[in-house]
Structure 1
Amino acid sequence: MTRQSYYQHFWQQEAVGFEQELVLKEVLRIRLTHRRMGGRKLYELLEPFMLEHHIKMGRDALFDLLVANNLLIKRRKRKIHTTQSFHWLRKYPNLIRDMRPSQPNQLWVSDITYWKITSGHLYISFVTDAYSHKIVGYHVADTLESIETIKALSVAIEESTKPLKNLIHHSDRGYNTVHQAMFHCYESME
């Protein structure tokens, strides 16, 4: 190693340390008003600052810097649970274990998700064809009641253009998913 490269290494380390210190001060300044701001948004806010100070730092390097200084915000855990598997209703056997559908309308899978809005939450019940991965029925409601999932299944049945013979309708074992809707599905197909 030459004497020049030896000293250049230390000068570069010193320059990088100075740049990182500037970025950290700016991050702390931003965090005074935005305590829960994530790394990606923080990076977008820091880009003009870094351009102004001729600092070359990518998003991953910023993340590494935030982690090293305990400034990366941890994600909050999800508080809403749409599945409650410990209920008194009959738990049906899993008919689709190791099953691979070979055609549409052979296996429908149902689930519920939610969307946070200013006045609370909206719950979206949907039915997906496992073969085509197409959503064949959905319903948006402001409650997690079983009747809402039945409406999603009813939409799927009404919109179906092909026969629904030997259709398996699968949901997780949650109380509010479509256990009651399975009976409704069979009644509608008869």
Structure 2
Amino acid sequence: MNTVYEACGMTRQAVYQHRRRQQERTAQEAAICTWVRRKRQKHPRMGTRKLWQEIQGWLAQQGIRYGRDRLFELLRRAGLLVEQSRRSRRTTFAGMWRCPNLVAGLGGHSTQSGLGQ
């Protein structure tokens, strides 16, 4: 096996340390996903940013440091992101249509009335 480690340019100790860190990371991610699923049972539309703020205390107790972007990535991989709602249908189109100029065809017959006179 040592020849395989040497071919990869790694020591046996580095391989086992990597394996241990990978297992710890997988266990942490599973625990976080479980926490999020339990929270989402009560609050199904709670977003990731609010979840991240609420999970900070629990993560500190567990000794886990997890950032917001990393939580986004984990929830994306686990399929736990909340789907964003679509924009509502726009019914008013201001400035799209212009009314015809009725005064332009009258020539010099148009008069001005109001405060300017």
Tell me if both proteins adopt one fold, taking TM over 0.5 as the criterion: yes
Distance 1:28 1:74 in 2: 15
Q: How does 1:35-74 map to 2 (within 5 A)?
A: 35-74=44-83
Higher helix proportion: 2
Larger Rg: 2
Q: 1:6 aligns with which of 4, 7, 15?
A: 15
| 1:105-159 CA-partner distances (Å, limit 9, x unpaired) | xxxxxxxxxxxxxxxxxxxxxxxxxxxxxxxxxxxxxxxxxxxxxxxxxxxxxxx
Distance 1:82 1:44 in 2: 37
Pairwise CA RMSD:
2.7
Q: How does 1:51-130 map to 2 (within 5 A)?
A: 51-79=60-88, 81=90, 83-84=92-93, 89-90=97-98
Distance 1:12 1:37 in 2: 30
Distance 2:54 2:94 in 1: 43
Change (3 A) 1:91 1:19: farther
TM-score by structure 1 length? 0.45
How far is the alpha carbon of 1:84 from its aligned partner?
2.5
Letter in 2 for 1:11: R
Aligned length: 95
Alignment correspondent of 1:109: none
Question: What secondary structure does 2:46 align onto?
Answer: coil
Alignment correspondent of 2:26: 17
Unpaired stretches in structure 2, ≥5 consecutive residues: 1-9, 101-112
Unpaired stretches in structure 1, ≥5 consecutive residues: 93-186
Distance 1:6 1:85 in 2: 65
TM-score by structure 2 length? 0.71
How far is the alpha carbon of 1:82 from its aligned partner?
5.8
Percent identical pairs in the alignment equals 34
The runs of 4+ residues in structure 1 deviating greater than 3 Å are none
Distance 2:99 2:15 in 1: 70
| 1:83-124 CA-partner distances (Å, limit 9, x unpaired) | 32697x4279xxxxxxxxxxxxxxxxxxxxxxxxxxxxxxxx
Change (3 A) 1:71 1:91: farther
